[in-house]
Every structure is written in structure tokens, then in C-alpha cells.
Structure 1
């Protein structure tokens, strides 16, 4: 059996958060966990988490507010 290469942490975070938004687990306006909390959850450093949040922000899934946190976008992509 061939081991599939594991996805980079930032891709796992992007996939997990977009799935949670699509399924309604995360709702528009809901605050996401902090970078530190996500880093612990994914057993990662801060940088892959920051990269994932940046990608999600660029794609319109979340809105990042400096000093306040990251929130699910009011109208995320469908």
C-alpha cells in the first residue's frame, strides 16, 4: 500500500474551515479560533495557520480584522 503524502497544514486548515462554513457548522459572522488555538489544534506553528487565514480571506470565506480576530464572511462563496 502506498502512503499518500500528507497535505501541508495550511491546506488542511483551509479545507477544514471551508467545509465547516459550507455545512453550516461555522456561520456567517462567527468568530474563528485564534491563531494560537488553531496552531495547537493542528499541532503546528503559527505560520501555516496565518497562511491558511490569508488564503481564506483572499478567497472571500473569512474576514480578518486586525486586533479583533477572524470571522466567517457575511456572504461566503457557495
Structure 2
């Protein structure tokens, strides 16, 4: 089985941080530059991972401000 693309690995890591409570609703995610540096990936990889998480309703982007963990109803 081929390795997951880097963006999928990064999205999964952030998803796990949200699920575990390490990143709580309303928390700001690190910037694209910080995520690139921390994970050794390109800006495109970070953008794709964030886009997937946005489509899943896990994070919300605020233009010019950043990306935040979405408020999610319990249950």
C-alpha cells in the first residue's frame, strides 16, 4: 500500500490533535510558515491539509487572521 500523501498525513495529525483536545474549539492553528517548518513540508502541502479539514468542518479560516478549530456541537 503506498504511503499517504504528506498533506493527508498532516491533516490526520491535526485531526488527532483536535480529537484529543490538544487543540480545542476556538484555538488558532499555527501559521502556514510554522506548520511548514515544524513538519518539513511545502506551503502547498499545508494549504491542502487545511482545505481538507475545512471541508470536513473541523477548522474555519478567517481571512487575514488565521485558521481556527471549529466550534462543534457535542454528540
Q: Which runs of 5+ in 1 are unaligned?
A: none
Paired residues for 1:40-55 under 5 Å: 40-55=37-52
Aligned length: 75
Conserved? CA contact 1:63–1:70, under 8 Å: yes
TM-score by length of 1: 0.87
Q: CA RMSD in A?
A: 1.8
Q: Which runs of 5+ in 2 are unaligned?
A: none
> Are residues 77 and 13 of structure 1, via their aligned partners in 2, closer, same or farther at CA, if it must alter by over 3 Å?
farther
- Structure showing greater radius of gyration is 1
TM-score by length of 2: 0.90
Counterpart CA distance in 2 for 1:40 and 1:76 is: 32
